Amino acid sequence: MVKFVESELSQLKREVDQMWTLVYNQLEQSQSAVLDLDRTIAQQIMVRERRVDAFELKIDSDVEDFIALFTPVAVDLRFVLAMLKINGDLERIGDYADGIARFVRDTDMETMDPELIGRLQVKEMFEVVLKMLGELQEALRTEDAAKATAVLSMDERLDSINKASASILADYAREHPEAIPFCLGFGGVFRKLERTGDHLTNIAEEIVFYVDAKVLKHKELNG
């Protein structure tokens, strides 16, 4: 019975990891779509969004089934609850990638102003988000609470870039009135990336919540 429970937990962890990789790829592709205003990539992201949603439903269902079948307690319960919450956060990040793709699809701009892109630091914002997402995936794989905690400070950089973007886009819109719709839509990209950072902070906290409980349990067993 114990081995069966462990097998089910391992399977759940694998599913979350697969969902994670899919969401990472969606976000990485959304960076390419924005920086190159590539509508083909944007369309691919929007099509794959259905896979993200399907993954979320499957993981939710598996967690519910596990709780119903095994009524887990202590560290096992903390694990499945953490997976449930992380799953929800990953799905929201997938939604943001889809929203960014829709901005690219709908904008009437054909090329980006390189000077504007440089001032906005949008490339750096994407890179910070992707680094956070990658580091946290590794933290869960290796059950490394310290690695998860180290990611938290990166969120401040996202807040800073997002805050600065509003005035930069407003100034650009005043100088280029024809770009007002583009600037409004582009502002939404920054807000989505900033909110992605908030969800990644939640994920970091969930990893620590689970891993620390496991460490405490092992200490009790060995004490």
Domain spans, the chain = 2-222
CA gap 128, 197 in Å, rounded: 9
For the CA atoms of 83, 125, 123, 111, what is the dihedral angle to 10 degrees? 100
pLDDT reported for residue 51? 97
Specify the pLDDT at position 123: 97
Whole-number pLDDT of residue 2: 79
Write down the CATH number for the domain with range 2-222. Answer: 1.20.58.220
pLDDT at position 120 is 98
Q: What is the pLDDT of residue 216?
A: 53
Q: Is the dihedral of CA 91, 93, 96, 97 positive or negative?
A: negative
Question: Which residues, given as ranges, of the chain have pLDDT below 70?
Answer: 1, 215-223
Predicted TM-score (pTM) of the model is 0.93
Cα–Cα distance measured from residue 218 to residue 223, given in angstroms and rounded to the nearest whole number: 8
pLDDT score recorded for residue 3: 84
